Amino acid sequence: MTLTAQTRRAISSMATRQLLAELVGLASDLGVEWQIESVGGVDAARRVAAGEVFDLVLLASDAIDTLIEAGHLLAGSRVDWVRSEVVVAVPSASPWQSLSTEAQLREAVAQASSLGISTGPSGAYVEQLIRGWGMGDRLEQRRVVPPPGVPVGRLMAQGQVALGFQQRSEMMGLDGVRVLGPLPDPVGYTTVFSAGLPVALANDPLRRTQVEQFMAFLCSSSAAPLKLKHGMSALS
């Protein structure tokens, strides 16, 4: 891929892929073309850590913190820009209509023939939750792990998953998938997605200014309606 002088390259996790694709269009008046590659969050962090060159990194906040601590992103550059709930979903034909209490969710996990859990931070949380209920054996026997970059909902639509957990944005609009809602209190989980600046920008003030302008746009009120459209919310 050939980048022009006014083209900037970013990497993000799949959870924000569709949202960012629309936001890039709205940000065209900033005078910079953005090319954003969305992959599985674990793979994205690995590529940044391996030294692949990006102008901006957009991942879950804990992944950004890890990359900052390892010296791959600039200290103090983390900016939180959107929040997303983890939801539970079932196939459209499932008898489950509501999982509004922890007891109902636990019972659904106990009954499910297969469990779709992502590999990112939300998946790690759900796995910890299920083990905390004393159902680690069910988790090992019934867990379906999607390939990197493939949403749990796609496997559910293909009949491979009976009960699935992932960011709302990755479960929306899929035929054959019914989102029951967020994880119930007190076990609900929200992921904050953040932006971080690669260390190379420390010595490139023009490039850094362009990237920081885009980061400011992501946090602006102009971006809020699209965040809601994609099942997410602003932080302010």
| Residue 198 pLDDT > 50 | yes
Exposed/middle/buried for residue 98 (C-beta within 10 Å: 0-12, 13-18, 19+): exposed
Q: Are 212 and 85 in contact (CB under 8 A)?
A: no
Q: Model confidence at 20, in pLDDT bands (50, 70, 90)?
A: very high
Ramachandran region, residue 94 (left: φ > 0; alpha: ψ -120 to 50; beta: rest): beta
pLDDT cut 90: percent of the chain above it: 81
Domain 85-182 has CATH 3.40.190.10: yes
| Residue 2 pLDDT > 80 | no
Q: What does the pLDDT read at residue 4?
A: 46
Most confident of the ranges 73-87, 120-134, 172-186: 73-87
User: Of 193, 192, 162, whose CA–CA distance to 180 is shortest?
Assistant: 162
Average pLDDT over residues 171-200: 94
CATH 3.40.190.10 domain range(s) in the chain: 7-83+193-233, 85-182
Q: Are 77 and 69 in contact (CB under 8 A)?
A: no
Q: What does the pLDDT read at residue 40?
A: 87
* Least confident interval from 64-68, 76-80, 132-136, 147-151: 147-151
Q: Are 111 and 230 in contact (CB under 8 A)?
A: no
Q: Are 144 and 163 in contact (CB under 8 A)?
A: no
| Residue 84 pLDDT > 50 | yes
User: Of 72, 12, 63, whose CA–CA distance to 37 is shortest?
Assistant: 12
Q: What does the pLDDT read at residue 98?
A: 87
Higher pLDDT, 149 or 178: 178
> In 3-state terms, what secondary structure has residue 87?
strand
Bridge partners, residue 87, by sequence: 166, 182
What is the pLDDT of the chain when averaged over all its residues? 93
Q: Model confidence at 223, in pLDDT bands (50, 70, 90)?
A: very high
* Least confident interval from 4-18, 40-54, 212-226: 4-18
Give residue-wise pLDDT tens across range 37-78. Answer: 999 888 999 999 999 999 999 999 999 999 999 999 999 999
Q: Model confidence at 236, in pLDDT bands (50, 70, 90)?
A: low
List, in sequence order, the alpha helices (H) in the chain.
Answer: 17-26, 41-49, 61-69, 102-111, 121-132, 136-142, 152-157, 205-218, 224-229
Tokens of 59: 């991942």
| Residue 28 pLDDT > 90 | no
CATH T-level fold of 7-83+193-233: D-Maltodextrin-Binding Protein; domain 2 (3.40.190)
pLDDT cut 70: percent of the chain above it: 97
